[in-house]
Amino acid sequence: MNTKLTRIFAVSASILAAIHCIAKPTKPVDFFAENAVANAVGLLQHPAGQHHNGITYVAYQGSLTDPYVAAYNHTTDTWTGPFKAGTSELSKNGSKTDSHGKPALIIDDAGYIHVIFGGHGADESYGKNPRGNTHHGRMIHIVSKRPLDITEWEELDNIPPFGTYGHLAKLSNGDIYYFFRHGAHRSHWVYQISRDNGRTFEEPISVVKNLAHTDDQGRKYQDSWYCHFSVGPDEQLLVTYTYHKCWNIDVPHSHEQRNVYVMTIDTRDGTCRNLQGEQIALPITKDLADQKTLAVRTPEHQWTSLGVGHLGSNGMPHIMYTAGDSRGRRFKGPEAPYYFRYDGKQWTGSKNAFAPELSRGDMKFSPNGEIRTLIGGLGKVAWWKSTDGGLTFSEDKIVLANTNSRYLVSSLFSNAHPNAQALVAEIDRSSDSPNRRMYLVGNDGPIKR
């Protein structure tokens, strides 16, 4: 073939390729992104999304555990993004992937979008943590440069670097609450309030604290906690938490994680109360938690992993957690899902409230009294519902299903559009790729792209 012909062929091929690209049939797919990594969404780091004027904005942990933000317009059925919104200090330079800093997103009353991410107790180079210990990364707060525009972001230097498991909530008066563990494993859980659209935050308020102990055999340990915060009716905060006995020696270290506790914080005056209405001084210690706020005492050899807690429409709390046997080893699974509710006098609930393979999810309360839970696990994500106040649940609707996959669901967005209520990350067990598909799901399944 002479040179001229080769050139013609080459040009034709490139034109054909361009036409092919334009004319490529765009069969819609169920996912909106494929660059999520590891445990890309979770229940503690929340919300993962917010609905605002017909658009749902979402954030998830993408490549290198950096935060990515996308938006879906329900009127025009179009997607924007995902855009890389910031750079986490975790999982860089070949270090192990660390999912603790997955993002939480909230929109302030002026329309600016805030994302916090990247924290796992902060690297020791950030100095001494006044409320606990340090580990890796740094909690970073970024805000969109323009209202409701996810394309460009800037960092605000107004939160401590030490945060882990950041969650955000906005009250009806516009105050933004930022809840987090103030450091690594052995740190207080705190919250901070911003009354100026997230531009400044008041000093942290410690909710639970960690004391050092020595048992009767002279073995040393420290208190460690996992807390979930949610906003309920009358803007009461519900704090749901579990206790981890953190040994200084390996007995083994992660042998004991137990019990579920609840208490409320009144956002009008910051007072904390137990379910009997008794006021409790913060921060809570292990002794005080046992005396005043215990909801479920779990068996000694049961590894209890915190899920979520919410106040129902009557102001009574409901909690979900998972648990498995931890005898003689660090717990690795399998874990069973539990659902408990308080009726004003006592806690009732059960193991395997949902199918045993469906372990983690979130709940919401419908005006008709129905409780709906979105649960993910092995092989599927499904809505389950209860019409008896949470005593029993039945499967209502499968949202995603693939026998090769394991699904992680985010917490439910509090003000969601019915078609877009949570994010789901898919771990395809038949694939070696580190990347995960991300789905935005609602009542009837995922929003296609």
Q: List contacts with Zn ion (CB under 5 A).
A: 246
Q: Which of 165, 221, 241, 339 is catalytic?
A: 165
Residue with Cβ nearer Zn ion (241 or 365) = 241
- For residue 25, with 0-12 CB atoms within 10 Å meaning exposed, 13-18 middle and 19 or more buried, which class applies? exposed
* CA atoms of 275 and 324, how far apart (whole Å): 27
Q: Which residue is nearest to Zn ion (CB)?
A: 246
Nearest-CA neighbor of 317 among 231, 205, 204, 430?
A: 231
Q: How far is the CB of 441 from Zn ion (least distance, A)?
A: 34
Q: How far is the CB of 222 from Zn ion (least distance, A)?
A: 8
Q: How far is the CB of 303 from Zn ion (least distance, A)?
A: 12
Q: What are the DSSP calls for 112-129, one per residue?
A: -EEEEEEEEB--GGG---
Q: How far is the CB of 92 from Zn ion (least distance, A)?
A: 25
User: Which parts of 27-112 are beta strand (E)?
Assistant: 33-37, 49-52, 55-61, 67-73, 78-84, 104-107
Strand partners for 83:
69
Residue with Cβ nearer Zn ion (194 or 224) = 224
100 an active-site residue?
yes
* CA atoms of 62 and 41, how far apart (whole Å): 10
HSE-up of 430 (CA within 13 Å, CB side)? 5
Question: Which pair of structure tokens corresponds to residue 430?
Answer: 């038949």
Give the SS3 label for residue 22: helix
Is residue 333 within 8 Å of residue 324, measured between CB atoms?
A: yes
Q: How far is the CB of 246 from Zn ion (least distance, A)?
A: 3
Q: How far is the CB of 225 from Zn ion (least distance, A)?
A: 10
Alpha carbon distances (Å) from 178 to 1, 97, 133, 147: 69, 25, 19, 20
Answer whether the bond into residue 337 is a cis peptide, omega within 30°. Answer: no
Residue with Cβ nearer Zn ion (250 or 432) = 250
Residue with Cβ nearer Zn ion (159 or 246) = 246
Q: How far is the CB of 330 from Zn ion (least distance, A)?
A: 10
User: CA 416: distance to chain centroid?
Assistant: 16
Q: What are the DSSP calls for 414-427, one per residue?
A: TT-BTTB-EEEEEE
For 70, other C-beta atoms within 10 Å of its C-beta total 24
CA dihedral sign of residues 232, 322, 190, 51: negative
Q: Which of 46, 100, 135, 185 is catalytic?
A: 100
Residue with Cβ nearer Zn ion (231 or 246) = 246
User: CA 69: distance to chain centroid?
Assistant: 15
Residue with Cβ nearer Zn ion (168 or 246) = 246
Answer whether the bond into residue 47 is a cis peptide, omega within 30°. Answer: yes
Residue with Cβ nearer Zn ion (253 or 449) = 253
Residue with Cβ nearer Zn ion (223 or 426) = 223
Q: How far is the CB of 242 from Zn ion (least distance, A)?
A: 12
Is residue 179 within 8 Å of residue 161, measured between CB atoms?
A: no
Active site residues: 100, 165
